Amino acid sequence: MTGAACADHCAVRRIPADPDRDAALRDAASVLDAGGLLAYPTETVYGIGADPENARAVDRVRELKGGSPDRAVLLVADSEGAIRPWITDIPEPARRLMRRFWPGPLTLVFRASDRLPPAMRNDRGTVAFRISPDPVCAGLARFFGRPVVSTSANPAGREPARSAEEVLGYFKAGLDAVLDGGARPGSAPSTLVDVTGPVPLLLRRGPVPAEAIRSEIGRLNERETL
């Protein structure tokens, strides 16, 4: 069965990231290629991934998590070059932030290119990207060959899973596989900055402080409530 076919009827398959990491990453990427949903580790918590070009898989991610159906999900990539086909441009402030803070806990919001399916865009036609410093997370995107959908592995309103065991405790069905990279430390979500306007806008505070961002680009607007 394909990942999509197994969604409601098969046990969630566990893929150990060690001892042969490359084989595990290749196996995990094949789940995404088949239209399946994969839980995988990041540098902080576990995420749920899917192929961003597979509209049904993206819908399944939202259905699995519950909550607002139009809530945006971001993408993780393994390099700056990997994001270029998916966005229209990289403004100069974004270039500076990418050089300073990527890979790392900073998510940037860009204008989406026509390649990105409507299901992955918000109502402003933008998309959020991050490059993770975690070797398993970045390796997954590399083996998959394109960015991977990333949203925290938890039902809406619950704490994000920090281990494969917690993922399986939350999702006994709906997922196709979990890439087990061991326990994660957990921390605040990444800092979120919109770089589509004339002055970048801080949408969410996080591990990269506003002061560090201002020191790199000069001006930074902030929402009144974060």
Q: 21-33 and 135-144 are packed helices; what angle lies between their axes, rounded to 10 degrees?
A: 50
What pLDDT is recorded for position 1? Answer: 38
What pLDDT is recorded for position 117? Answer: 87
Domain limits, the chain: 13-222
What pLDDT is recorded for position 186? Answer: 86
Question: Interior CA angle at 192 toward 125 and 127, to 5°?
Answer: 20
**CATH topology for the 13-222 domain:** DHBP synthase (3.90.870)
* C-alpha torsion 155→160→165→168, nearest 10: 20
CB atoms within 10 A of CB 123: 7
What pLDDT is recorded for position 16? Answer: 97
What pLDDT is recorded for position 68? Answer: 65
Beta strand residue intervals within 78-158, DSSP E: 106-111, 126-131, 148-152
Cα dihedral 225, 133, 156, 56 sign: positive
pLDDT, one tens digit for every residue, the chain (226 residues):
344 445 444 689 999 999 999 999 999 999 999 999 999 999 999 999 999 999 999 999 999 998 666 566 799 999 999 999 999 999 999 999 999 999 999 999 999 999 998 878 878 899 999 999 999 999 999 999 999 999 999 998 999 999 999 999 999 899 999 999 999 998 888 999 999 999 999 999 999 999 999 999 999 999 854 4
What pLDDT is recorded for position 69? Answer: 60
